[in-house]
Homo-oligomer: A and B are copies of this chain.
Amino acid sequence: MLTDPANENRVPAHWYNILADLPFELPPDLTPPAQRDHPRAMKLQLPLALVRQSMTRERLIPIPEPVLQKYLSWRPTPLRRARALEHQIGTRARIYYKYEGGNASGSHKLCTALAQAYYYASAGTGRLVTGTGAGQWGTALAVACQEFGLACKVYMVAKSFQEKPYRKTIMRLYDAEIVPSPDPEAQRAALSSGPGEVHPGNIAYAVTEAFSDALAHPGTQLSVGSGEAYAILHSTVVGLEAREQLGPAEQPDIVIGSLGAGSNFGGIAMPFIGQKLRGESDVRCVAVEAQSCPKLTRGQYRYDYTDGSGVSPLQKMYTLGSRFTTGGGHIGGLRYHACSKIISALYHHRLVEASASSQSDIFASGVLFSRTEGILPAPESAHAVHAAIEMAKRADEEGTAPVILFCLSGHGLFDLASYEEYLNGTLEDVPVSDEEIRRSLAHLPELDVKAAG
């Protein structure tokens, strides 16, 4: 938009920190035994600002001016009422969506990517590495690194790397290096030198590869996209802005976000959960996960690693186990094995709700949304779309007319191969058996179970 003082006033100048309002203590992180034996892991250092942001009880954290200036290049993002969708499904509910796909990276992830790149650059880091699933986070970090003059390398889950070649091009446009994870050459080497194990690839493994890269290169740090408290904090600009745009007269009854590790759901929901915790509303907040990666609805609340390295801190989370690789399908961005410890704790205390959607359902809702509202949702974002539609229908059956707000976190223009499969009727759901979940969780060391107990 044209420089417009009215607009600048509509972009929040701070992030919202849920820690200020939590009515319980979060279980502490634990140092895994392997880290005690591998002090080199300690070489990786979070910038002090991010450490502080993970711990402070301050409710509103000022957004640093350089980050705010970048936000203003595409924020405020549109908040729209989905009138055509409402009309199409014949609901009495009022459905609003906050659209976060209109920036260079195509998703909400740019909110924390810019903040992290800024803090790392300020702390003297010259290069960031990361792992990415569907590529939204990798793209966001590539854009952010270019903005703040950092080099960037992205390890992308091999399946997505192959299915979405243009994600690679976008990241290259922003000067990032991008490689598939697991690294095919390393895999070949492992296999040729003996009975090596071929890892099928998942986000935790991609982060592990990035982690090794960071350890091996001085001046390089590992940046993570979603589950950390500060990543969720930076994403709350989404929910705060939506709250402001709705105006004082419109209070949502239901707030919905898709759940990967937490920044998508947390970004839209945290400010509303805060209102609820402070007794200012009784909004329902619903995290929607993929049926193929059902950590909240079918995982266990216990200590687990945040990546696959075995040396990352152990956090108490709803998890399927950091080696979880079953399921599959096209929902790369939601396939993180666990849920952020803060959201996990809120869920444990029944302060947020969870649901899981099948791939066929979310693609159907994605197409319906595209035809009515004119934006093709990323499959990840389509989980929130689907839940909003389902909850509106349920409300109609119950004779209520709630105000529903959801985050349309990104566009699906890099996901057309999977939409093509859907249109061709060849998209299949990939159910996960209880046995698979049990086996994946069995990998967690006994210590963790004790710590969790």
Contact = CB atoms under 8 A, between A and B. Distances in A.
Interface of A: 1-3, 73-74, 78-81, 84, 96, 102-104, 106, 143, 146, 165-166, 168-170, 172-175, 245-247, 367, 370-371, 373-376, 413-414, 416-417, 419-420, 423
Nearest to A103: B374
A166 B371 CA distance: 16
Given A2-B81, A169-B419, 9 more contacts: A73-B84, A73-B373, A165-B416, A165-B420, A166-B413, A166-B420, A169-B423, A173-B367, A173-B419
Contact of A143 (B173, B374, B416): B374
A374 B104 contact: yes
B80 A1 contact: yes
A372 to B, nearest CB: 10
Given A73-B84, A84-B73, A104-B374, A420 B2 contact: no
Nearest to A421: B169
Contact of A174 (B2, B3, B168, B371): B371
Contacts of A103: 374
> Shortest 4 CB-CB distances between A and B: which pairs?
A104-B374, A166-B416, A169-B416, A169-B420
B246 A2 contact: yes
Contacts of A102: 102
Contacts of A246: 2
A332 B172 CA distance: 24
Given A103-B374, A374-B73, A170 B79 contact: no
A429 B143 CA distance: 28
A237 B137 CA distance: 36
Nearest to A80: B1
Contact of A78 (B1, B104, B106, B423): B1
A2 B2 CA distance: 19
A106 B370 CA distance: 13
Contacts of A173: 367, 370-371, 376, 419, 423
